[in-house]
Amino acid sequence: MNVTKKRKRDSFSLLLYRNFFQSLIGGLTGGLGMVYFRDILHVTALDLGLISTASILSHLLLIFFSGWIVLSVGPKNIFTLTSYLTSLPFLLYFLAGDATLLIVSSIISSVASTLLSPAWDYIILTFTGRSERVHKINLLNILSSIPRLIVPPVAAYLIDLYGDLPIIREIFLLQFILHLIVTTYIVSQLTLEERKKPIPPIKDFIKSLIKDYREVYKQLEHRGRRTWITFLTASSLLYISASLWPLYLREVINPPQIVYGLIPAVSTLGLMLMAYPVRRLSVTVGRKKTVLLLKPLRYIGITLLLLAYSDSFPLREWIPVLAWFLFGLHTSYSGAMHSMAIETLPRRYLPMWNSFRGFFPSIFSIPFPLIGAYLWGIDPRLPFLVEMILDIIRLYGIFVRIPETYVKLPPGKKKLPRHIIIYGLPESGVETTTNLLRRRIGIPPIMVGDVGLVERTLKKEEPYIISGDAGIIAAKEKEGLVVLLVAPKEERVKRKLRSAREHGDKIPAFIAQEELEKEDKEVDKMVKKYLKSDFSKLPPFDIAINTERVPEDVVEEILTLLYRRMKRTKGTKAKRTSNRS
């Protein structure tokens, strides 16, 4: 087991190295790659639309086969192939004289990412545990982003100082060489246990493909199938503005050149700041709520950039820095979103499920980059405004209905109760029950509502009956047998009157009720403070038992004993009534 854990840890470390060095290599252009394409290669909004469309088409042609290919060839082999393929675009950027080779490079990148995605999911699931998955995905994102804190700003400054935009062409060649070196090292060291399937004839392949996707479709039946498909289809709307941000920055805002280097740096900073909170959120409130809490940060960033369209907007040239910081904070949600997606189906369906998830956005998104270019021609703000509005509808109209995948389960081993903790409403029998238990089983009671005293008592090895105000403070204690006593107000008023008479104090019922209501308020304050609960909203019951803590056979014994005793008491009362008559 230790050997397996060490192997997983070492393999995951290789993924961290890969992401780190690839990010470092990518940052050598100082965020000025798109500026180079626009100013040196004269790329237009229409060219960017065509590049995106070519990428989508190649993705769509391959997406349905990607899962099958990964299963047939093996995740490790696909990882190796796609890692080398991602080196080629740098060489094509170096050779490019216009937008033509950029279209070819986008096709190669699309093919590589389409094949890599299911293999990457398989690798992540293999090398990470369920409870740590979001944390490790965010760790990958953070480590891949660390170089962006330093490399792009420094690179942008040096490019501006020593050669301006034309020097970026030589940097593309350097990136190609470095990427090849890193890829060769990583793929030679990575070990992955996998089951390879022989490649069947084309006829059998088509039958197998149809069968696999039918199975995925069937598996989604109780996992929000219709909502998932609608959400994935609506994701195609995001392609309206995806490729136009660099153009908006250059042609509309036109910030200082150093801003292009600062953008990836502040985006990384935002991602790093949110990584730990997102990890905590995803295992407390769940994956879905984490996404819903973070997405609005993106909308705020887009709104700021659209407002910076006006020349009179304060510090408009530096607004991209703030906007990308917000984008970085928002990007940290991706770990929760990715976990939610891959946890929806069992691991064996992941390659097919991945291509299933990629198909719906791709098939509907083909025209959207060109629609974005058309909207750009009307007003440069329009593509981003339309995309933001549609994304808000997609998120809060569709995504909210997708089932949450993370369900926190109790630990398998239960702690045995050491103390008896009793609390309840005034005159519900807390003091009487405490005294009866003390006499019956000989355990000393603690009833003073002092936090320090309660904490010290809970740490002691010998058992105590902790009741009254002290019981409210200790009610969340996992090692105690917690008992809540309640009774209707009328019954408690009756007991209050009886208690007053026993002490020689005859008071009317309305005075007893008024005093009881004051005591209730004090108890309610303590319950809200320590237990975050409200006594006034309890449903009606005679006995409530927490079956997480109390085994079913014990529940059966308690209820049997209670029922028989209550029946016996009822029979005795009826007999006494008969004798009196």
What is the model's pLDDT at position 581? 32
Alpha carbons 2 and 570: distance in angstroms, whole number: 63
In the numeric block, which tokens belong to residue 31?
A: 């965020």
Residue 469: which residues within 8 A CB-CB, separation 6 or more?
423, 447, 448, 449, 526
In the numeric block, which tokens belong to residue 543?
A: 């006995």
What is the model's pLDDT at position 535? 67
What is the model's pLDDT at position 1? 42
Residues of the chain with pLDDT under 70: 1-8, 10, 64, 67-68, 71, 129-131, 134, 138, 193-203, 205, 351, 355, 407-417, 478-479, 535-543, 545, 547-549, 566-581
Q: How many helices (H) and strands (E) does the chain have?
A: 24, 4
- Residues 58, 59, 63, 68, CA torsion sign: positive
What is the model's pLDDT at position 412? 53
The answer as to CATH 3.40.50.300 being correct for domain 2-401 is no
Which phi and psi (to 5°) does residue 555 adopt? -60, -45
Alpha carbons 240 and 115: distance in angstroms, whole number: 24
What is the model's pLDDT at position 382? 93
Q: What DSSP character marks residue 318?
A: G
Q: Which residue intervals of 366-450 are DSSP H helices? A: 368-378, 382-397, 430-441
**Contact between 311 and 257 (Cβ < 8 Å):** no
- 45: exposed, middle or buried (Cβ count in 10 Å: 0-12, 13-18, 19+): buried
Cα angle 38, 40, 45; round to 5: 20
**Contact between 475 and 498 (Cβ < 8 Å):** no
| In the chain, ranges of CATH 3.40.50.300 domains | 419-550
What is the model's pLDDT at position 213? 75
Residue 552: which residues within 8 A CB-CB, separation 6 or more?
none
SS3 484: strand
| In the chain, ranges of CATH 1.20.1250.20 domains | 2-401
Q: Which residue intervals of 408-551 are DSSP H helices? A: 430-441, 451-459, 469-474, 489-502, 509-531
What is the model's pLDDT at position 300? 94
Q: Which of 427, 426, 424, 447 is nearest to 435 (CA)?
A: 447
Q: Which of 281, 327, 266 is nearest to 301 (CA)?
A: 327
Q: Which of 290, 288, 274 is nearest to 332 (CA)?
A: 274
The answer as to CATH 3.40.50.10330 being correct for domain 419-550 is no
**Contact between 199 and 72 (Cβ < 8 Å):** yes
